[in-house]
Protein backbone atom coordinates (compact mmCIF):
# COMPACT_ATOMS: atom_id res chain seq x y z
CA UNK A 1 0.00 0.00 0.00
CA UNK A 2 1.18 3.54 -0.78
CA UNK A 3 1.65 4.79 2.75
CA UNK A 4 1.59 8.48 1.80
CA UNK A 5 -2.11 8.33 0.99
CA UNK A 6 -4.18 10.39 3.42
CA UNK A 7 -7.10 8.63 5.07
CA UNK A 8 -10.22 10.25 6.55
CA UNK A 9 -12.06 8.24 9.20
CA UNK A 10 -15.31 9.59 10.63
CA UNK A 11 -16.26 8.49 14.12
CA UNK A 12 -12.55 8.02 14.77
CA UNK A 13 -12.68 8.60 18.52
CA UNK A 14 -14.27 5.29 19.50
CA UNK A 15 -14.98 1.68 18.59
CA UNK A 16 -14.43 0.58 15.00
CA UNK A 17 -13.42 4.03 13.78
CA UNK A 18 -10.67 4.20 16.37
CA UNK A 19 -9.48 0.69 15.51
CA UNK A 20 -9.34 1.69 11.83
CA UNK A 21 -7.37 4.87 12.64
CA UNK A 22 -4.91 2.86 14.75
CA UNK A 23 -4.28 0.32 11.99
CA UNK A 24 -3.84 2.85 9.17
CA UNK A 25 -1.58 4.97 11.39
CA UNK A 26 0.50 1.90 12.27
CA UNK A 27 0.86 1.26 8.53
CA UNK A 28 2.33 4.76 8.11
CA UNK A 29 -0.67 6.58 6.61
CA UNK A 30 -1.45 10.17 7.52
CA UNK A 31 -4.83 9.86 9.24
CA UNK A 32 -7.58 12.45 9.73
CA UNK A 33 -9.81 11.57 12.66
CA UNK A 34 -13.19 13.32 12.78
CA UNK A 35 -15.73 12.93 15.56
CA UNK A 36 -18.18 14.85 17.70
CA UNK A 37 -16.54 13.63 20.96
CA UNK A 38 -13.79 16.19 21.27
CA UNK A 39 -12.10 14.95 24.48
CA UNK A 40 -11.88 11.31 23.44
CA UNK A 41 -10.78 12.37 19.97
CA UNK A 42 -7.89 14.51 21.20
CA UNK A 43 -6.85 11.85 23.74
CA UNK A 44 -6.72 9.08 21.10
CA UNK A 45 -5.07 11.37 18.52
CA UNK A 46 -2.43 12.30 21.10
CA UNK A 47 -1.74 8.62 21.82
CA UNK A 48 -1.18 7.95 18.12
CA UNK A 49 1.04 11.03 17.68
CA UNK A 50 3.12 9.82 20.63
CA UNK A 51 3.83 6.68 18.57
CA UNK A 52 5.05 8.85 15.67
CA UNK A 53 1.86 8.88 13.56
CA UNK A 54 0.89 11.88 11.44
CA UNK A 55 -2.61 12.71 12.68
CA UNK A 56 -5.12 15.48 12.06
CA UNK A 57 -8.00 15.45 14.55
CA UNK A 58 -10.94 17.81 14.66
CA UNK A 59 -14.44 17.96 16.01
CA UNK A 60 -16.87 17.69 13.09
CA UNK A 61 -20.46 16.53 12.89
CA UNK A 62 -20.90 14.54 9.67
CA UNK A 63 -24.47 15.78 9.32
CA UNK A 64 -23.23 19.37 8.89
CA UNK A 65 -21.69 19.90 5.48
CA UNK A 66 -20.00 23.16 6.46
CA UNK A 67 -18.14 21.37 9.29
CA UNK A 68 -16.98 18.64 6.91
CA UNK A 69 -15.89 21.17 4.28
CA UNK A 70 -13.88 23.20 6.76
CA UNK A 71 -12.27 20.07 8.27
CA UNK A 72 -11.36 18.82 4.78
CA UNK A 73 -9.75 22.17 3.89
CA UNK A 74 -7.53 21.82 6.96
CA UNK A 75 -6.81 18.15 6.21
CA UNK A 76 -5.66 19.01 2.66
CA UNK A 77 -3.31 21.63 4.09
CA UNK A 78 -1.87 19.34 6.78
CA UNK A 79 -1.96 15.87 5.19
CA UNK A 80 -2.39 16.47 1.45
CA UNK A 81 -5.17 15.27 -0.88
CA UNK A 82 -7.69 12.80 0.51
CA UNK A 83 -7.32 9.40 -1.20
CA UNK A 84 -9.15 7.10 1.20
CA UNK A 85 -12.41 7.66 3.06
CA UNK A 86 -13.86 5.39 5.71
CA UNK A 87 -17.42 6.60 6.35
CA UNK A 88 -17.93 5.00 9.74
CA UNK A 89 -19.58 7.53 12.08
CA UNK A 90 -23.02 6.46 13.15
CA UNK A 91 -25.60 6.41 15.89
CA UNK A 92 -28.01 3.67 16.91
CA UNK A 93 -30.84 3.60 19.39
CA UNK A 94 -33.90 1.41 19.77
CA UNK A 95 -37.18 3.17 18.97
CA UNK A 96 -40.63 1.71 18.48
CA UNK A 97 -41.75 2.39 14.89
CA UNK A 98 -45.40 3.17 15.65
CA UNK A 99 -44.56 5.98 18.08
CA UNK A 100 -41.31 7.16 16.45
CA UNK A 101 -41.21 10.97 16.38
CA UNK A 102 -40.38 12.40 12.96
CA UNK A 103 -37.40 14.23 14.52
CA UNK A 104 -35.89 10.91 15.69
CA UNK A 105 -36.31 9.45 12.19
CA UNK A 106 -34.82 12.58 10.63
CA UNK A 107 -31.76 12.73 12.92
CA UNK A 108 -30.99 9.08 12.13
CA UNK A 109 -31.14 9.78 8.39
CA UNK A 110 -29.14 13.01 8.79
CA UNK A 111 -26.25 11.31 10.61
CA UNK A 112 -26.23 7.75 9.28
CA UNK A 113 -27.09 8.43 5.62
CA UNK A 114 -26.69 12.10 4.72
CA UNK A 115 -23.53 12.18 6.85
CA UNK A 116 -22.07 9.44 4.65
CA UNK A 117 -23.03 11.46 1.54
CA UNK A 118 -21.22 14.55 2.90
CA UNK A 119 -18.18 12.56 4.02
CA UNK A 120 -17.72 10.99 0.60
CA UNK A 121 -18.86 13.75 -1.77
CA UNK A 122 -16.52 16.33 -0.23
CA UNK A 123 -13.52 14.01 -0.76
CA UNK A 124 -14.20 12.62 -4.24
CA UNK A 125 -12.74 15.59 -6.19
CA UNK A 126 -9.30 14.76 -4.69
CA UNK A 127 -9.65 11.11 -5.77
CA UNK A 128 -10.75 12.08 -9.28
CA UNK A 129 -7.78 14.46 -9.59
CA UNK A 130 -5.43 11.70 -8.39
CA UNK A 131 -7.12 9.04 -10.58
CA UNK A 132 -7.22 6.74 -7.54
CA UNK A 133 -9.48 6.43 -4.55
CA UNK A 134 -10.89 4.03 -2.00
CA UNK A 135 -14.24 4.41 -0.26
CA UNK A 136 -15.41 2.08 2.49
CA UNK A 137 -18.74 2.63 4.21
CA UNK A 138 -19.65 0.95 7.47
CA UNK A 139 -23.29 -0.07 7.09
CA UNK A 140 -24.96 -2.75 9.18
CA UNK A 141 -26.53 -6.12 8.89
CA UNK A 142 -29.67 -4.44 10.26
CA UNK A 143 -30.12 -3.38 6.62
CA UNK A 144 -29.66 -6.95 5.37
CA UNK A 145 -32.24 -8.68 7.54
CA UNK A 146 -34.07 -5.85 9.30
CA UNK A 147 -34.04 -4.90 12.94
CA UNK A 148 -37.46 -4.88 14.56
CA UNK A 149 -36.90 -1.92 16.87
CA UNK A 150 -34.67 0.08 14.53
CA UNK A 151 -36.66 0.88 11.38
CA UNK A 152 -34.92 4.26 11.09
CA UNK A 153 -31.47 2.72 11.55
CA UNK A 154 -32.17 -0.16 9.15
CA UNK A 155 -33.48 2.27 6.52
CA UNK A 156 -30.49 4.61 6.85
CA UNK A 157 -28.02 1.73 6.60
CA UNK A 158 -29.90 0.29 3.61
CA UNK A 159 -29.45 3.70 2.02
CA UNK A 160 -25.73 3.50 2.72
CA UNK A 161 -25.51 0.14 0.94
CA UNK A 162 -27.39 1.52 -2.09
CA UNK A 163 -25.26 4.67 -2.12
CA UNK A 164 -22.07 2.61 -1.99
CA UNK A 165 -23.13 0.44 -4.95
CA UNK A 166 -24.18 3.48 -7.00
CA UNK A 167 -20.81 5.11 -6.34
CA UNK A 168 -19.00 1.92 -7.30
CA UNK A 169 -20.62 2.15 -10.75
CA UNK A 170 -20.33 5.92 -11.18
CA UNK A 171 -16.77 6.37 -9.96
CA UNK A 172 -15.07 3.26 -11.35
CA UNK A 173 -13.89 5.19 -14.43
CA UNK A 174 -11.83 7.41 -12.11
CA UNK A 175 -9.96 4.53 -10.51
CA UNK A 176 -12.11 4.74 -7.40
CA UNK A 177 -13.60 1.69 -5.66
CA UNK A 178 -16.47 1.78 -3.18
CA UNK A 179 -17.38 -1.10 -0.89
CA UNK A 180 -19.41 -1.49 2.26
CA UNK A 181 -18.83 -3.52 5.40
CA UNK A 182 -22.12 -4.37 7.16
CA UNK A 183 -21.04 -5.58 10.62
CA UNK A 184 -23.34 -7.59 12.85
CA UNK A 185 -22.12 -7.60 16.46
CA UNK A 186 -18.89 -5.77 17.22
CA UNK A 187 -17.71 -5.20 20.77
CA UNK A 188 -17.61 -1.39 20.91
CA UNK A 189 -18.90 1.26 23.32
CA UNK A 190 -22.01 1.58 21.09
CA UNK A 191 -22.82 -2.13 21.38
CA UNK A 192 -22.13 -2.09 25.15
CA UNK A 193 -24.40 0.96 25.56
CA UNK A 194 -27.30 -0.85 23.88
CA UNK A 195 -26.85 -3.81 26.22
CA UNK A 196 -26.51 -1.59 29.31
CA UNK A 197 -29.75 0.19 28.36
CA UNK A 198 -31.49 -3.19 28.13
CA UNK A 199 -32.22 -2.63 24.41
CA UNK A 200 -30.38 -5.82 23.47
CA UNK A 201 -29.13 -8.84 25.44
CA UNK A 202 -25.54 -8.75 26.72
CA UNK A 203 -22.88 -9.10 24.00
CA UNK A 204 -21.78 -12.48 25.38
CA UNK A 205 -25.35 -13.84 25.02
CA UNK A 206 -25.79 -12.49 21.48
CA UNK A 207 -22.42 -13.94 20.53
CA UNK A 208 -23.72 -17.47 21.14
CA UNK A 209 -25.83 -17.16 17.97
CA UNK A 210 -22.78 -16.42 15.81
CA UNK A 211 -21.09 -19.40 14.08
CA UNK A 212 -17.68 -18.05 15.12
CA UNK A 213 -18.90 -17.81 18.68
CA UNK A 214 -17.69 -14.35 19.64
CA UNK A 215 -18.44 -10.72 18.94
CA UNK A 216 -16.31 -9.03 16.31
CA UNK A 217 -13.57 -6.66 17.35
CA UNK A 218 -12.68 -3.24 15.90
CA UNK A 219 -9.52 -4.93 14.56
CA UNK A 220 -11.59 -7.49 12.59
CA UNK A 221 -13.26 -4.60 10.78
CA UNK A 222 -10.03 -2.62 10.42
CA UNK A 223 -8.21 -5.53 8.73
CA UNK A 224 -10.96 -5.73 6.08
CA UNK A 225 -10.74 -1.96 5.53
CA UNK A 226 -6.97 -2.24 5.20
CA UNK A 227 -7.31 -4.79 2.39
CA UNK A 228 -10.17 -3.00 0.61
CA UNK A 229 -8.10 0.21 0.59
CA UNK A 230 -4.98 -1.45 -0.78
CA UNK A 231 -3.86 -1.62 -4.43
CA UNK A 232 -4.44 -5.38 -4.21
CA UNK A 233 -8.21 -4.80 -3.92
CA UNK A 234 -8.45 -2.73 -7.10
CA UNK A 235 -10.84 -5.24 -8.75
CA UNK A 236 -13.27 -5.34 -5.82
CA UNK A 237 -16.00 -2.73 -5.96
CA UNK A 238 -19.68 -2.39 -5.12
CA UNK A 239 -19.50 -5.29 -2.67
CA UNK A 240 -21.00 -5.97 0.71
CA UNK A 241 -18.07 -7.49 2.56
CA UNK A 242 -19.63 -9.40 5.43
CA UNK A 243 -17.26 -9.31 8.39
CA UNK A 244 -19.73 -10.86 10.80
CA UNK A 245 -18.50 -14.22 12.11
CA UNK A 246 -20.87 -16.00 9.72
CA UNK A 247 -24.16 -14.91 11.25
CA UNK A 248 -25.47 -13.69 7.88
CA UNK A 249 -24.34 -15.23 4.59
N1 LIG B 1 -21.02 -2.15 17.17
C2 LIG B 1 -21.80 -2.87 16.41
O3 LIG B 1 -22.18 -3.99 16.78
C4 LIG B 1 -22.25 -2.36 15.06
C5 LIG B 1 -22.94 -3.23 14.22
C6 LIG B 1 -23.31 -2.81 12.95
C7 LIG B 1 -22.97 -1.54 12.52
N8 LIG B 1 -22.31 -0.69 13.36
C9 LIG B 1 -21.94 0.62 12.82
O10 LIG B 1 -20.54 0.79 12.93
C11 LIG B 1 -20.21 2.18 13.01
C12 LIG B 1 -19.28 2.40 14.19
O13 LIG B 1 -19.97 2.07 15.37
P14 LIG B 1 -19.26 1.67 16.74
O15 LIG B 1 -19.92 0.44 17.20
O16 LIG B 1 -17.78 1.72 16.60
O17 LIG B 1 -19.81 2.86 17.65
P18 LIG B 1 -19.10 3.89 18.65
O19 LIG B 1 -20.22 4.66 19.28
O20 LIG B 1 -18.13 3.21 19.52
O21 LIG B 1 -18.32 4.84 17.64
C22 LIG B 1 -19.03 5.69 16.76
C23 LIG B 1 -18.34 7.04 16.76
O24 LIG B 1 -19.08 7.91 15.86
C25 LIG B 1 -19.15 9.17 16.46
N26 LIG B 1 -20.28 9.94 15.94
C27 LIG B 1 -21.60 9.78 16.22
N28 LIG B 1 -22.32 10.70 15.59
C29 LIG B 1 -21.45 11.46 14.88
C30 LIG B 1 -21.60 12.58 14.03
N31 LIG B 1 -22.80 13.12 13.79
N32 LIG B 1 -20.49 13.12 13.45
C33 LIG B 1 -19.27 12.60 13.71
N34 LIG B 1 -19.06 11.55 14.52
C35 LIG B 1 -20.15 10.99 15.10
C36 LIG B 1 -19.32 8.88 17.94
O37 LIG B 1 -18.98 10.02 18.75
C38 LIG B 1 -18.37 7.71 18.15
O39 LIG B 1 -17.08 8.14 18.51
C40 LIG B 1 -21.54 2.91 13.13
O41 LIG B 1 -21.89 3.45 11.87
C42 LIG B 1 -22.51 1.83 13.56
O43 LIG B 1 -23.82 2.09 13.15
C44 LIG B 1 -21.95 -1.07 14.62
Task: Specify if 163 maps to a domain.
Answer: yes
Q: Is 25 in the pocket of ligand 1 (CB under 6 A)?
A: no
CA torsion, ordered 144, 163, 45, 183, to nearest 10 deg: 10
48 alpha carbon – ligand 1 mean position (Å): 20
* pLDDT tens by residue, 146-196: 999 999 999 999 999 999 999 999 999 999 999 999 999 999 999 999 889
173 alpha carbon – ligand 1 mean position (Å): 31
Residue 1 has a pLDDT of 60
| Nearest residue by C-alpha to atom 36 in ligand 1 | 11
Task: Specify if 174 maps to a domain.
Answer: yes
Q: Is 90 in the pocket of ligand 1 (CB under 6 A)?
A: yes
| Nearest residue by C-alpha to atom 34 in ligand 1 | 35
91 alpha carbon – ligand 1 mean position (Å): 5
Q: Would you say residue 233 has pLDDT above 90?
A: yes
Task: Specify if 49 maps to a domain.
Answer: yes
* pLDDT tens by residue, 47-100: 999 999 999 999 999 999 999 999 999 999 999 999 999 999 999 999 999 999
Residue 2 has a pLDDT of 77
- Give the 3-state DSSP-derived string for 81-138, with helices as H, strands as E and coil as C: CEEEEEECCCCCCCCCCCCCCHHHHHHHHHHHHHHHHHHHHCCHHHHHHHCCEEEEEE
Is the distance from CB of 180 to CB of 139 less than 8 angstroms? yes
Task: Specify if 32 maps to a domain.
Answer: yes
Instruction: Kindly give the number of the ligand 1 atom that is closest to the alpha carbon of 17.
Output: 16
In total, how many domains does the chain have? 1
Task: Specify if 240 maps to a domain.
Answer: no
Residue 105 structural domain: 6-185+218-233
Task: Specify if 196 maps to a domain.
Answer: no
Q: Could you tell me the end-to-end alpha-carbon distance of the chain, in angstroms, rounded to an integer?
A: 29
Task: Specify if 33 maps to a domain.
Answer: yes
Mean of all residue pLDDT scores within the chain: 97
Instruction: Kindly give the number of the ligand 1 atom that is closest to the alpha carbon of 191.
Output: 1
CATH of the domain at 224: 3.40.50.720
Tell me which of 109-123, 196-210, 217-231 is least confident.
196-210
Q: What is the pTM of this model?
A: 0.98
Is the distance from CB of 216 to CB of 20 less than 8 angstroms? no
Percent of the chain residues past pLDDT 70, beyond the cut: 100
Query: For the chain, how big is the Rg over CA atoms in Å?
Result: 17
Is the distance from CB of 219 to CB of 187 less than 8 angstroms? no
d(CA 148, CA 5) in angstroms, rounded, equals 40
Amino acid sequence: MNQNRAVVVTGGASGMGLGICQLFAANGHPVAMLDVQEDALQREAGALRAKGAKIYAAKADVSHRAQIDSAYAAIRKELGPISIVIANAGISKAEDFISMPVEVWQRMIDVNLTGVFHTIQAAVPDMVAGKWGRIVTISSNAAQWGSSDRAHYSAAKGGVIGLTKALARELAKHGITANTIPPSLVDTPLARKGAAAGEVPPIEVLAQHIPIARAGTPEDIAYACEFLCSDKAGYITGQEINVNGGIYM
